[in-house]
Amino acid sequence: MSRRAGRDPARALLSAAAREGRAALMVPILLGLAATAAGIAQAWLMATLLATLLGHGEAGAGTLAAAAALALLQVGLVVAQETASARAGEAARATLRRRLFGRLLAETPSARPAGEGAALAVDQVEAMDGYFARWIPSAALAVVAPLMVALAAGAADALSGMILVAAGLLVPVGMAVSGIGAAVASRRQFEALQRLSGRFLDRMRGLPTLVLFRRQEDEARALDAAAQELRVRTMRVLRLAFLSSGSLELVAAAVLGCLAWRHGILAAEGHPNPVAALFCLLLVPAFFTPFRAFSTAYHERMSAQGAAAALAPILDATAPGGLLLEEVPPSVTLVVDHLSHRPDPARPLAIEDVSFHVPPGETLVLSGPSGSGKSTILKLLMGFSRPDEGRIALNGRDALALAPAELRRLVAYLPQRPVLLRATIRENIRLARPEASDAAVEAAARSAQVTAFAESLPEGLDTPIGEGGHGLSGGQRLRVALARAFLRDAPLVLLDEPTAHLDPATEAQVLDSLRRLCTGRTVVIASHSAMLRARFPKVLELREGRVVPQRRAVAT
């Protein structure tokens, strides 16, 4: 994470995003200023009309028509301002989401729970909408628009202008006093909301388990308590918001009182300019409108800062560097040399001093009890983590010097729990090589025995499947994932438990497919299966992260 000394990364992120979207953000600000100018002109015409009604002047239908036209123009400008604000917010969020998604994709795939990534890319980016769409325009307008109104009033009557300027200086003080409390309350509300949504997501995922253990009512009570906490905190934010708007209304009433007193005294002596008096009084609402919008948007800034604090570490992270491949070689010799890795500093080494060598056309089976380090080795080979010690070489070149994404170009990987998306079987297979032709996808499906079960489905390979492969059995999902490995056609194949949870007949079929996949490639398979070991005799036995020396092992 690159943190510039002394700079809050959340604020830095928001300012950088605002700078980037400056052009779009200027549009609602300029439209807001135009609406204020129209409001000032309209107030002058209305003052002239009212003064005529009171017997001071000769305004006629022309003035009334102009005032009506200005009122319509002002409405149009306000609508355009709202639309431009929404657009600016949308554009800023789209830019942030794009950058964030790029970063999430560049991260180690298993580094972050899926739900958290989704919440970051959707909810937290969404929480920034108000910052760009309302807070920034209203903050700019709260400085400039009241000044325009005060200058207009000052031009008509200097003292009235000064009263407005004095009130304008008082408003931020009142807002700051109530705003400090509102900031704390708003941050607590945001934290309570995050706790509630995190808990909800977690429990929704574990719903079948909760139902199985009859814990649903306890969980419903716990969720209720979290929702109650959120309600209490939201009410506190609202109370403080009312207090803040109450202080604003108090200042507005005081200003109106001062202006009435000022012009009342003048009126008692025969007012020299009744139109100016009415004009100043009519300007009071226009003077406070930008402050009201600013006060309403204040909490938007708080929630955006909370969201930015969550996003900044990801967006500030430096992208993993490394060498690029000139081209994908047709075959690969894999050498793993004295590899040690400790994924968690508080726990023992997951693998220790592991060495092996797999030439092209050979398959090495990593075998050993659960927790012996098989998946850890595959993840290191995929570049998902960097080993603490040791070397991985591909065709004699240091694989760790390659950018992780480049390393993955060489590899077809079947994880222990392959992920299928909500799409057709065909689209799920094509994920491995989007440009592949239908014929290539169908060949991969045949090789992985997908066609064997897809033929009995209503739409064959075009049958849609649900999220996470819903609608397919465990073995069928595995075969779809295996078809991806066929389609990928990479020189290095890494398979993590490719026959787990299969019945012996299906396992035998999948092993036939595997033999075809492994032919001519460099393959490492992590597996417990005795049937698989019988088919692939080169086995590296692991125990507690170390290689067990034995006759059939191929440690170098």
* Out of 60, 257, 272, 371, the residue judged to bind ligand ATP by CB under 6 A: 371
CB < 8 Å & 24+ apart, contacts of 301-304: 301/130, 301/131, 301/135, 302/182, 302/183, 302/186, 302/187, 302/190, 303/127, 303/130, 303/131, 303/186, 303/190, 304/14, 304/127, 304/128, 304/130, 304/131, 304/135
CA distance 209 to 304: 35
CA distance 139 to 293: 9
Site for ligand ATP in 287-346 (CB under 6 A): 343-344
Q: Residue 272 or 320: which CB sits closer to ligand ATP?
A: 320
From the list 244, 231, 172, the residue with the least C-alpha distance to 196 is: 231
Q: Smallest gap, in angstroms, from Cβ of residue 319 to ligand ATP? A: 22
Q: Smallest gap, in angstroms, from Cβ of residue 348 to ligand ATP? A: 7
CA distance 292 to 289: 5
Pick the piece of the chain touching ligand ATP (CB under 6 A) from 143-151, 238-246, 316-324, 371-379.
371-379
CA distance 462 to 426: 6
* Out of 247, 372, 499, 522, the residue judged to bind ligand ATP by CB under 6 A: 372
Phi-psi label, residue 55: left if phi above 0, alpha if psi -120 to 50, beta otherwise = left
Q: Residue 296 or 385: which CB sits closer to ligand ATP?
A: 385
Q: Smallest gap, in angstroms, from Cβ of residue 532 to ligand ATP? A: 13
From the list 286, 295, 84, the residue with the least C-alpha distance to 182 is: 295
Site for ligand ATP in 405-444 (CB under 6 A): 416
Q: Smallest gap, in angstroms, from Cβ of residue 416 to ligand ATP? A: 6
Q: Residue 288 or 356: which CB sits closer to ligand ATP?
A: 356
Asked if 367 and 68 touch (Cβ cutoff 8 Å), the reply is no
Helix boundaries (H) for 448-529? 450-454, 474-488, 504-518
Q: Smallest gap, in angstroms, from Cβ of residue 527 to ligand ATP? A: 9
Q: Residue 4 or 347: which CB sits closer to ligand ATP?
A: 347
Q: Smallest gap, in angstroms, from Cβ of residue 552 to ligand ATP? A: 18
* Out of 274, 306, 373, 469, the residue judged to bind ligand ATP by CB under 6 A: 373
**SS3 assignment, position 348:** coil
Asked if 536 and 498 touch (Cβ cutoff 8 Å), the reply is no
Q: Smallest gap, in angstroms, from Cβ of residue 317 to ligand ATP? A: 18
Does residue 376 touch ligand ATP according to CB under 6 A? yes
Does residue 370 touch ligand ATP according to CB under 6 A? yes
Does residue 539 touch ligand ATP according to CB under 6 A? no
Pick the piece of the chain touching ligand ATP (CB under 6 A) from 35-43, 68-76, 236-244, 364-372.
364-372
Q: Smallest gap, in angstroms, from Cβ of residue 418 to ligand ATP? A: 14
Q: Residue 174 or 368: which CB sits closer to ligand ATP?
A: 368
Q: Smallest gap, in angstroms, from Cβ of residue 526 to ligand ATP? A: 6
Helix boundaries (H) for 54-157? 61-106, 114-119, 125-126, 129-130, 136-156
Q: Smallest gap, in angstroms, from Cβ of residue 415 to ligand ATP? A: 10
Does residue 350 touch ligand ATP according to CB under 6 A? yes
Q: Residue 283 or 510: which CB sits closer to ligand ATP?
A: 510
Q: Residue 334 or 441: which CB sits closer to ligand ATP?
A: 334
Q: How far is CA 165 from CA 68, 245, 282, 307, 389, in A?
A: 29, 19, 16, 35, 68
* Out of 160, 186, 303, 375, the residue judged to bind ligand ATP by CB under 6 A: 375
CA distance 400 to 381: 9
Residue with tokens 């030439």: 359
Contacts of 63 (CB under 8 A, 6+ apart): 45, 48, 49, 52
* Out of 61, 347, 503, 504, the residue judged to bind ligand ATP by CB under 6 A: 347
Q: Residue 378 or 465: which CB sits closer to ligand ATP?
A: 378
Q: Residue 108 or 395: which CB sits closer to ligand ATP?
A: 108
Q: Smallest gap, in angstroms, from Cβ of residue 491 to ligand ATP? A: 23
Q: How far is CA 297 from the centre of its chain?
A: 22
Q: How far apart are the first and last CA of the chain?
A: 39
From the list 291, 279, 8, 62, the residue with the least C-alpha distance to 169 is: 291
Residues that bind ligand ATP (CB under 6 A): 343-344, 347, 350, 368, 370-376, 416, 526
